[in-house]
């Protein structure tokens, strides 16, 4: 099958692009360091498998992501289980599957893991997630204010016993994910610098720092044209800062890790969809697409991502004229609008449009169950070659 023959709407993920982004990101990181793929960005099994094959471990935060990562071939030893609230049953699934490395956000979480490790007769390692002040420049800051993420630095310093080793659960490092989508290189470097300082302070205070996960924050364009930012200075700056704080880090004391979702996969995905209706309303072109916030942009609706300004690449019109256009999906709610004043050519029913750079936080971050439309297909390609197609389905199971 050729890409042009795929039924719309369809997300297309290009493995060759994923491999390119991965190689690019490795080039911005100090070496040696470990890179984890944050499965939340795109849990398609072929995407996770491609990154596992390229050498990434996986950062996961639910039983669903755990199963996806295992099915994609990530060995349990390369999984890092994160997240601020976990049911016993989720952790039990993880422990039974062989996951032994967790991020922990509170003394309660340490005690919970200790109890479950006792039940299964296994030991586990935790990295303390720290809520430290975040550097400016975040599109999505997660710490430096009251937050469910991490324990405040002050708390860890004031009550070290609360964060100490349990019998089976040992604290062996730190997790400092400060926020997402930082396109400004100086801001990202400042964030990492601050994290290294915090880690050095906690090591001096007695934390057994064998693994330092510095998080990420590498940015990518979303639902608009554009290329991945370049972070030419980061590796050099971090190399210097790490050497100052931890003279033996290059021999693995501590081991340094990063995690990234969007940078690795955003550019590899596009959504191909079609025009269902075109009309004029109060002087504006209104284009109704097969896809709305049910297929793309649910998190944007929740204001957790930048507003969508999709680039619509059309095929059936040669006109140079641009019209002020409202771009909507088919849902029966006025919230289902991607753009209210996009400048687009005159479009016609049946035109195919493409929204680029939606390989991260696309389908799985959208309001997929709202209003009951079928979900788009997903196609995995390498360049022009279609490797597989599939479709997520929502099913109700009676308890
Ligand atoms: C702990 C943690 N790690 C990694 C990520 C991935 O972020 P991004 O996709 O921006 O790289 C997130 C995103 O929210 C996160 O919360």
pLDDT > 70 fraction of the chain, expressed in percent and rounded: 92
The answer, yes or no, to whether any atom of ligand 1 lies below 6 A from the CB of 41, is: yes
The DSSP line for 297-351 is -HHHHTTSSPPP------SS------EEEEEE-SSSSTT-EEEEEEEE----TT-
CA distances from 215 to 228, 280, 293 (A): 18, 47, 29
Residue having the nearest C-alpha atom to atom 13 of ligand 1: 180
C-alpha–C-alpha distance, residues 186 and 198, integer Å = 18
pLDDT in tens, 181-206: 899 999 999 999 999 999 999 999 99
Residue 298: pLDDT above 80?
A: no
DSSP per position, 91-107: HHHHHHHT--EEEE-SH
Dmax (CA) for the chain in angstroms is: 71
Tokens matching residue 210: 């064998």
Q: Please tell me if the CB atom of residue 37 comes closer than 6 angstroms to any atom of ligand 1.
A: no
Task: Work out which ligand 1 atom sits closest to the CA atom of 175.
Answer: 1
- CA-based angle 189:195:201, to the nearest 5? 140
Q: For ligand 1, what atom is nearest to the CA of residue 181?
A: 10
Handedness of CA 332, 333, 339, 342 (dihedral sign): positive
The finding on whether 129 has its CB within 6 A of some atom of ligand 1 is: no
Residue 314: the pLDDT is 63
Residue whose token pair is 């510095």: 214
For residue 103 and ligand 1, the question of a CB distance below 6 A is answered with no
Can you tell me the distance from the alpha carbon of 13 to that of 271, in angstroms, rounded to the nearest whole number? 9
**pLDDT tens digits along 110-155:** 999 999 999 999 999 999 999 986 555 555 555 567 888 999 999 9
Nearest-CA residue for atom 9 of ligand 1:
261
Ligand 1 close to Cβ of residue 22 (< 6 A): no
Rounded to the nearest whole angstrom, what is the distance from the C-alpha of residue 113 to the centroid of ligand 1?
23
Name the residue at shortest CA distance from atom 8 of ligand 1.
Answer: 261
Q: For residue range 345-389, list pLDDT tens digits in order.
A: 899 999 999 999 999 999 999 999 999 999 999 999 999 999 999
Per DSSP, the residues of 193-260 read HHHHHHHHHHHHTT---SEEE----B----SSS--PPP-TTHHHHHHHHHHHH-TTGGGTTTEEEEEE
pLDDT value of residue 320: 78
Q: What is the mean pLDDT of residues 209-215?
A: 98
What is the pLDDT of the chain when averaged over all its residues? 92
Pocket test for ligand 1, best of 85, 188, 259 (most atoms within 8 A of CB): 259
Residue 260 CA to ligand 1 center (angstroms) comes to: 6
Instruction: Give the atom of ligand 1 at the shortest distance from the alpha carbon of 142.
Output: 16
């Amino acid at each position: 099958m050729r890409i042009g023959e795929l039924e719309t709407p369809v997300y297309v993920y290009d493995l060759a692009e994923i491999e390119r982004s991965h190689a690019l990101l490795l080039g911005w990181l100090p070496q040696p360091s470990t890179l984890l793929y944050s499965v939340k960005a795109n849990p398609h099994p072929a995407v996770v498998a491609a990154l596992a094959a390229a050498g990434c471990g996986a950062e996961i935060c639910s039983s669903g992501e755990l199963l996806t990562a295992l099915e994609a071939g990530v060995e349990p030893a390369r999984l890092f289980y994160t997240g601020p609230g976990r049911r016993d049953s989720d952790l039990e699934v993880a422990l039974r599957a062989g996951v032994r490395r967790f991020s922990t956000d509170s003394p309660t979480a340490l005690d919970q893991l200790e109890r479950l490790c006792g039940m299964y007769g296994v030991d586990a390692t935790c990295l303390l997630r720290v809520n430290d002040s975040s550097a400016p420049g975040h599109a999505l800051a997660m710490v430096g204010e009251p937050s469910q993420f991490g324990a405040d630095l002050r708390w860890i310093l004031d009550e070290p016993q609360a964060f100490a080793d349990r019998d089976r659960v040992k604290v062996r490092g730190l997790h400092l994910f400060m926020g997402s989508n930082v396109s400004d290189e100086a801001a990202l470097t400042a964030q990492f610098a601050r994290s290294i300082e915090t880690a050095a302070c906690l090591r001096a205070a007695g934390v057994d720092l064998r693994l330092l996960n510095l998080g990420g924050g590498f940015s990518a364009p979303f639902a608009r044209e554009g290329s991945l930012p370049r972070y030419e200075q980061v590796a050099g700056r971090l190399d210097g800062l790490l050497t100052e704080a931890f003279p033996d880090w290059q021999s693995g004391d501590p081991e340094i890790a990063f995690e990234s979702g969007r940078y690795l996969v955003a550019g590899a995905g596009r959504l191909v969809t079609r025009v269902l209706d075109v009309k004029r309303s109060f002087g504006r072109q209104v284009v109704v697409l097969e896809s709305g916030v049910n297929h793309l942009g649910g998190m944007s609706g929740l204001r957790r991502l930048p507003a969508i300004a999709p680039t619509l690449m059309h095929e059936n019109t040669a006109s140079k004229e641009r019209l002020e256009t409202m771009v909507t999906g088919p849902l029966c709610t006025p919230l289902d609008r991607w753009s209210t004043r996009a400048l687009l050519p005159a479009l016609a029913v049946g035109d195919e449009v493409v929204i680029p750079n939606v390989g991260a936080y696309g389908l799985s971050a959208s309001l997929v169950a709202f209003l009951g439309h079928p979900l788009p297909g997903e196609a995995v390609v390498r360049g022009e070659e279609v490797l597989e197609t599939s479709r997520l389905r929502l099913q109700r199971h009676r308890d």
